[in-house]
Copies of this chain bind each other. A is one copy, B any other.
Amino acid sequence: MEMHKVFHMIGGEDEASYSQNSSQQRLILREVKPILKKCTDKLFRDMMEMDLPNNNCIKVADLGCCSGPNTFLTIQHIVQSIDEAWSQISDAELPNIQYFLNDLVSNDFNLVFKGLPQFYEELERKQNGRKYGSCHIAAMPGSFYGKLFPDGSMHFVHSSYCLHWLSQVPDGLIPESGKPRDKGSIYDDKASPSYVHQAFLDQFTRDFTMFLRMRSEEMVKHGQILLTFICKDSEEVEGSHYLSLMENALSDLVTEGYIEDKKLDTFNLPIYEPSIQEVKKIIENEESFKILKFQTFKTCLDAGFKSRTCDDEDNRMVRARYVATYLRAVFEPILASHFGETIMDSLFHRFENKLANVVEKRQGLLNNLVISLRKE
């Protein structure tokens, strides 16, 4: 599977697009905002002890920026945090910012660029003292598991809800011939045999280590990274994982004859939710970064849902549709590339029905990990 071709959120601004279905991820950004603020405070205090940045320009990257309102919300949060932190330590004019949006080459960057003139105007209006033309938003398309920027150039790197995506499905799960080793399963779940789990963990370890190594080369001394991604819950959680519901919906389509069972057996999502211990160990082994903050928080699958009035039954189904729709904006391109476009409606209809129970009982929580790191 060529990740750069098949993996992207649904582009554009239609009803089904990621851009219109990303309030869940927006909620995560809001939740992490106070930690972001602390990161930039620390960044400037550390920088003051050393040198001012080259050319009085702070270089920032958002890795896995996607497109739509969250892309801009992230820029706004980061610029605001930088400006507040700077104002606390210096009376001098705000530094210029060179801001790099990064995502895979199939991301809808055109959509973001079209919104830039309005965003720049708002930035100047909202941000006290931030002048038009003092923040330059560029794009660097490509995988963040490879090198993206010149050595020793970046001050602050941000990434939200991306690092649980692997660079590829681990090798060995989908044999060229013979029986697949994880029949019917589409991800590493609790019931996976240990060799399947190990294959996913190995891939995550390689990918996350490479992520850290590349950033280490690209960043200035004492540069900061802030990462948010989904991790395993250490406690026993009630209710099904949303991916197991997706797995069930696919199995139903096999039973009903819409999908060949071989087709399902040869499919795995390049997703891994690591344990906290696994993440810590990789960072320590890689040795470039010091962990400044390590925090988890839980969110309901429908946490970004806003509704005025619904009776209970409606509410249950409306919330399930909300969850199914935003997950469709994320998962449809990768599922459609394997199973075909035609069964997508049936699949997500079944998925939605399965979600209704989980949503009603407030089960199937997401466990989010936030880490801030400093390059030593």
Cα–Cα, bound, A113→B106 (Å): 7
B139 touches A138 (CB 8 A): yes
A117 touches B4 (CB 8 A): yes
Known: A109-B110, A138-B138. A98 touches B57 (CB 8 A): no
Q: Is A96 an interface residue (CB 8 A)?
A: yes
Closest to A120 in B: B142
Q: Is A116 an interface residue (CB 8 A)?
A: yes
The one of B96, B108, B109 in contact with A150, judged by C-beta atoms closer than 8 angstroms, is B96
A113 touches B117 (CB 8 A): no
B114 touches A142 (CB 8 A): no
A98 touches B149 (CB 8 A): yes
Cα–Cα, bound, A131→B242 (Å): 42
**Residues in B neighbouring A140, C-beta threshold 8 A:** 136, 138-139
B150 touches A57 (CB 8 A): yes
A side interface size, CB within 8 A: 34
**Residues in B neighbouring A110, C-beta threshold 8 A:** 108-110
A133 touches B105 (CB 8 A): no
Render A132-152 as a binary contact track against B, CB cut-off 8 A, 1 for contact.
Answer: 010011111110001111111
B105 touches A150 (CB 8 A): no
B117 touches A146 (CB 8 A): no
Q: Is A54 an interface residue (CB 8 A)?
A: yes
Cα–Cα, bound, A100→B149 (Å): 12
Q: Is A342 an interface residue (CB 8 A)?
A: no
A105 touches B109 (CB 8 A): no
**Residues in B neighbouring A149, C-beta threshold 8 A:** 98, 136
28 pairs of residues in contact across A and B, judged by CB atoms under 8 Å? A4-B117, A54-B150, A55-B151, A55-B152, A57-B150, A57-B151, A57-B153, A96-B150, A96-B151, A98-B149, A98-B150, A105-B116, A106-B114, A107-B113, A109-B109, A109-B113, A109-B139, A110-B110, A116-B142, A133-B146, A136-B140, A136-B147, A136-B148, A136-B150, A137-B141, A138-B138, A139-B139, A139-B141
Q: Is A56 an interface residue (CB 8 A)?
A: yes
Closest to A153 in B: B55
6 extra interface residue pairs, beta carbon distance < 8 Å, beyond A113-B139, A116-B142 = A105-B117, A107-B113, A108-B110, A136-B148, A136-B149, A138-B138
Cα–Cα, bound, A194→B278 (Å): 75
Closest to A2 in B: B117
**Residues in B neighbouring A114, C-beta threshold 8 A:** 105-106
The one of B113, B138, B152 in contact with A100, judged by C-beta atoms closer than 8 angstroms, is B138
User: Top 10 A-B pairs ranked by shortest CB distance?
Assistant: A57-B150, A138-B140, A105-B113, A113-B141, A139-B139, A110-B110, A55-B151, A55-B150, A133-B147, A105-B116
Cα–Cα, bound, A152→B96 (Å): 13
Shortest C-beta distance, A145 to chain B (Å), equals 11
Cα–Cα, bound, A138→B137 (Å): 11
**Residues in B neighbouring A141, C-beta threshold 8 A:** 113, 116, 137-139
Shortest C-beta distance, A56 to chain B (Å), equals 7
A88-135 contacts to B, CB under 8 A, are 96, 98, 100, 105-110, 113-114, 116-117, 133
Cα–Cα, bound, A140→B97 (Å): 13
Closest to A143 in B: B117
Closest to A149 in B: B136
Shortest C-beta distance, A117 to chain B (Å), equals 6
Shortest C-beta distance, A122 to chain B (Å), equals 15
